[in-house]
Amino acid sequence: MNEPTVHSEARARHSPLEVLPIALRLGCTSFGGPIAHLGYYREAFVVRRRWLDERAFADLVGLCQFLPGPASSQVFFAIGLKRAGYLGGLAAWVGFTLPLAVALVLFAYGASALTGPLGQGLLHGLKLVAVAVAVVAQAVMGMARTLCPDRERATIATMALLLMSVASGSLSQVAAIVLGGVAGLTLCHGSADAAPDDGTSPVSHRMGGVFLAVFLVLLALSLAPVRDGVAALAAAFYRSGALVFGGGHVVLPLLRDAVVVPGFVSDNAFIAGYGAAQAVPGPVFTLAAYLGAVADLPPGGVVGAAIALVSIFVLGMLVLMGTLPFWHGLRARPRARAAMAGVNAAVVGLLAAALYNPVWTSAVHGLPDFAVAAAGFVLLVVWRAPALLVVALLAAAGLVLSVGS
């Protein structure tokens, strides 16, 4: 009987307008891909604003790695949902996604300079930001101190790192988390009495069941053989999102199969859009906006971009909202807490692996790159320079290195 009152009080206490400007700021500055995004979230919501603690943040990351859809966007959506209800989750998604979506739709209308030599230099500078900002390194170190304080959990994190070093990919990420949970059941009984984070689920059990039912119905409809019109466009992107675990670049081959193979988008246009998506911040899934705009399938343009964008993201949000109330109940149990201690340690190992690949390997190709990245690190960590200033400086440095090479 008290649950609806708790939910309504949580919504009254915090406004979605509190979430939206933060989401817009992160959407304009979060370079480096989905793993780097988690570092930005941790800095913004765990370290700076203390909206949730380290353990609750790692729990969300572990859950979203299990679920289909864009994991980093799901984590942000869940933070907004917990802070300000459904509108808070919507504000988090809109603010974080909109900057890249607008940029890609503009690119679809002819801003092709990003694929030229100067654009490639700019892209290289922006990739360096992911290392220089040190968001991933800071997240790994900070989470390791809290979530791997003993030899058992440090060992679980190391084993997850070793697994990712020999078998990278979304399935390996899921396997590492599952094995971390199993190891936690065996090794982490001492952490089973740790109190779960304060709160109730922002979604009731009844609404969770509704969201899961809608997710399954839409998934069944997306598998139906539709070849033309808006339904075919929406089905192609919904189906692509439904088959991705962990999010990020794993969606690219699925998107290519969904739009290039049937002839909706040419291969050259697909590659150009991917290059543009790499040059701007935000989630990789937002590439759907560009593909919906250029697809040889009605309605095309801005409307097509909106349909494709919503279709590829809505799956992840539905399954997350459907799972959260059951997840909150499960994680309060001692054995579940032991398993989650192992899962959280495995998440640290996954982030440590991602610090090397793809964040480091995709950006640092020699001593000049390392020097630029180190300078950016000093500006941010020692001098506390604004992130936007560092982004601009490193982008300019990438141009200079590109012209000089």
Q: Where are the domains of the chain?
A: 3-201+320-404
Neighbours of 384 (CB within 10 A): 7
User: Along the 405 residues of the chain, how does pLDDT read in single tens digits?
Assistant: 444 444 443 444 588 999 999 999 998 878 767 777 888 898 899 988 989 888 888 888 888 877 888 888 999 999 999 999 999 999 999 999 998 888 888 877 764 444 455 555 555 555 555 444 445 666 677 678 777 888 888 999 999 999 988 886 656 777 887 898 899 888 887 655 444 455 567 888 999 999 999 999 988 888 777 666 788 888 888 888 877 765 566 677 678 878 888 888 887 788 777 767 766 778 888 889 999 998 887 787 889 999 999 999 998 899 999 999 888 777 777 887 788 788 778 878 877 887 777 667 766 777 887 787 778 777 766 787 765 677 677 767 766 766 665
298 cis-preceded (ω within 30 degrees of 0): no
Select from 282, 283, 285, 281 the least CA-distant residue to 392.
281
Furthest-apart CA atoms within the chain: distance in Å: 68
Q: Which residues contact 225 (CB under 8 A, 6 or more apart)?
A: none
Closest by Cα among 201, 188, 139, 117 to 400: 117
Whole-angstrom CA distances from 59 to 51, 56, 328, 381 are 14, 5, 10, 27
Torsion angle of the four alpha carbons 35, 52, 322, 93, in this order, in degrees rounded to the nearest 10: -60
Structure tokens at 371: 């020097």
